[in-house]
Amino acid sequence: GAVVSQHPSWVICKSGTSVKIECRSLDFQATTMFWYRQFPKQSLMLMATSNEGSKATYEQGVEKDKFLINHASLTLSTLTVTSAHPEDSSFYICSARNLQGAYNSPLHFGNGTRLTVT
């Protein structure tokens, strides 16, 4: 149980285009999903907290107009990298917390998306 599906697992796009990454909780409902970015051999940096039915909360230094987050249902959050540039190339990981769980319950992570912008 507690599976989080992230799609696509990898994507290559041209500079200036937009890319959408989906994060789905397959067997549970999640009011809160988190989006992380991970550079090679580095830690996970929280980009934003996605709340179902409301605006996402972005971490300091993360451009909200650049990284659009939508959490339209209890099982789906999307991250759209707009007007992508090579410096946006990275590994993006989503995670979700079960609606039934307390705030301190473990997060369930997706398998990540490797984005390469050429």
Q: Judged by CB, which is closer to other proteins: 43, or 86?
A: 43
With tokens 């989080």, the residue in question is 4
Residues in contact with other proteins by CB under 8 A are 32, 34, 42-46, 49, 91, 93, 95, 103-104, 106-107, 109, 111-112
Q: In this structure, is the dihedral angle defined by the CA atoms of residues 54, 104, 30 and 5, taken in order, positive or negative?
A: positive
Cα–Cα distance measured from residue 100 to residue 36, given in angstroms and rounded to the nearest whole number: 22
Smallest distance from other proteins to CB 23, Å:
13
Q: Judged by CB, which is closer to other proteins: 1, or 14?
A: 1
CB contact at 8 A, 80 and 68: yes
Smallest distance from other proteins to CB 114, Å:
8
Pairing outcome for strands 108-109 and 4-7: unpaired
Q: Judged by CB, which is closer to other proteins: 67, or 112?
A: 112
Smallest distance from other proteins to CB 109, Å:
4
Instruction: Specify which residues 58 forms β-bridges with.
Output: 48
Q: Judged by CB, which is closer to other proteins: 14, or 61?
A: 61
